């Protein structure tokens, strides 16, 4: 039963990773940019929500309503004033730009908030620790279930938005071919800015749940970025449904790894990530050489 319990909690943990990875995957899928500041945006949102909750004594869920538009505006500005300009200098420059931005955010937060660990758990009362007993031996955390549900709704909603709305179709068209998108009347610059706004706002949402389920410091961003990146790579870069699957695979690997050995939580996740990455690279190399059949074809 312990294994089933761990498996179930791994799936739910995967919901958090999927939520965290959603914006990273979306930004790469549309703009082909890997945002190395993604984890730091999550922490920035967590700090803002903490600040509002602490100053006003309101629920973090209500504070989120104020923070999400701020994060979206930051994403919009990031694209318009930084990424758009850095993209003109080549594909590597945006990567360096977001790396630099990550350092600025971390040190800016450190300057304001200091190095103390914080958490939003005290602001949501028992909900942070409540669990439901499915059987006498299997328990699921109510917060973990909520996070998983939010991840499914966000990823599913985003997918529906991309396929069933005209703005969604414009985003997909721009992601495929920005030059041709302009020829059908789409302002690709505006679409990129909207995509960045969505990506950073979703990082903010993930940041709130991160701060509810754990403690954080101004330097927690890079670790969250690694989890998000691993979930995206495992699930397939740019694929939203793949991101959910990738998050779940990572979460299950971590919880089962911890069941095998208490120190196996992180290492099991990293090993699965490396195995998937190696598998993808091998398949890509084989395809570039003409496919698996050719590899095994008899030589004359």
How deeply is 64 buried, as exposed, middle or buried, from its count of CB atoms within 10 A (0-12, 13-18, 19+)?
buried
Residue 238 beta carbon to other proteins: minimum distance, rounded to whole angstroms: 11
Stretch that binds other proteins, among 44-52, 120-128, 183-191, 248-256 (CB under 8 A): 183-191
Is 187 one of the binding residues for other proteins (CB under 8 A)?
Answer: yes
Site for other proteins in 188-207 (CB under 8 A): 188
Candidate list 54, 161, 182, 219; residue touching other proteins; CB under 8 A: 182
- Closer of 187 and 282 to other proteins (Cβ): 187
Taking the complex as a whole, how short is the minimal distance between the CB of residue 166 and other proteins, in angstroms? Answer: 5
The span of 133-141, 178-186, 215-223, 246-254 binding other proteins (CB under 8 A) equals 178-186
Other Cβ atoms closer than 10 A to 241: 13
The distance of closest approach from Cβ of residue 66 to other proteins in the complex, given in angstroms and rounded to an integer, is: 32
Token output for 40: 């730091």
The interface region with other proteins, picked from 18-26, 82-90, 186-194, 275-283 by CB under 8 A, is: 186-194
- The count of other CB atoms within 10 Å of the CB of residue 95 is 15
| Minimum CB distance to other proteins smaller for 133 or for 184 | 184
Exposure on the CB side of residue 29, measured as CA atoms within 13 A: 27
Question: Which residues have C-beta within 8 Å of that of residue 156, sequence separation ≥ 6?
Answer: none
241 binds other proteins (CB under 8 A): no
Segment near other proteins (CB under 8 A); pick from 8-16, 45-53, 175-183, 198-206 = 175-183
| Distance, CA of 251 to CA of 152 (rounded, Å) | 15
- Measured CA to CA, the distance from residue 167 to residue 181 in angstroms comes to 12
Q: Which of 107, 180, 261, 287 binds other proteins (CB under 8 A)?
A: 180
Q: Does 183 bind other proteins (CB under 8 A)?
A: yes
Contact 125, 233 (CB under 8 A): no
Give dist(CA 113, CA 123) in Å, integer: 18
Give 183-243 as a DSSP string.
Answer: HTT--HHHHHHHHHHHHHHHHHHHHHHHHHHS-B-TT-HHHHHHHHHHHHHHH-TT-HHHH
Q: Does 40 contact other proteins by CB under 8 A? A: no
Binding mask 134-173 for other proteins (x = CB under 8 A): --------------------------------x--xx-xx
Beta bridge mates, 118: 216
In the bound complex, what is the minimum distance in angstroms from residue 83's beta carbon to other proteins? 19
Residue among 115, 185, 288, 293 that touches other proteins (CB under 8 A): 185
Residues that bind other proteins (CB under 8 A): 166, 169-170, 172-173, 176-177, 179-188
């Amino acid at each position: 039963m312990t294994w089933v319990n761990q498996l179930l909690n791994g799936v739910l943990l995967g919901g958090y990773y999927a939520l965290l990875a959603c914006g990273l995957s979306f930004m790469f899928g549309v703009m082909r940019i890997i945002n190395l500041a993604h984890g730091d945006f999550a922490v920035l949102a967590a700090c803002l929500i903490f600040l509002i909750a602490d100053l006003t004594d309101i629920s973090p869920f209500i504070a989120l309503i104020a923070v999400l538009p701020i994060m979206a505006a930051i994403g919009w500005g990031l694209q318009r004033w930084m990424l758009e300009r850095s993209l003109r200098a080549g594909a590597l420059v945006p990567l360096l730009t977001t790396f630099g931005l990550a350092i600025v955010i971390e040190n800016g937060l450190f300057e304001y908030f200091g190095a103390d660990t914080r958490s939003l758990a005290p602001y949501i009362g028992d909900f942070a620790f409540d669990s439901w007993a499915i059987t006498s031996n299997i328990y699921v955390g109510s917060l973990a279930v909520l996070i998983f549900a939010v991840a499914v709704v966000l990823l599913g909603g985003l997918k529906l938005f991309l396929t069933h709305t005209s703005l969604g179709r414009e985003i997909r068209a721009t992601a495929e071919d920005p030059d041709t998108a302009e020829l059908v009347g789409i302002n690709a610059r505006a679409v990129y800015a909207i995509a960045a706004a969505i990506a950073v706002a979703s990082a903010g949402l993930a940041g709130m749940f991160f701060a509810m389920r754990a403690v954080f410091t101004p330097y927690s961003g890079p670790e969250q970025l690694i989890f998000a990146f691993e979930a995206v790579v495992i699930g397939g870069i740019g694929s939203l449904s793949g991101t959910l699957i990738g998050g779940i695979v990572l979460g299950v690997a971590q919880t089962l790894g911890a069941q095998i050995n208490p120190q196996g939580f992180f290492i099991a996740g990293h090993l699965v990530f490396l195995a998937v990455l190696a598998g993808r690279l091998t398949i890509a190399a084989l395809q570039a050489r003409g496919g698996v059949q050719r590899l095994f074809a008899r030589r004359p």
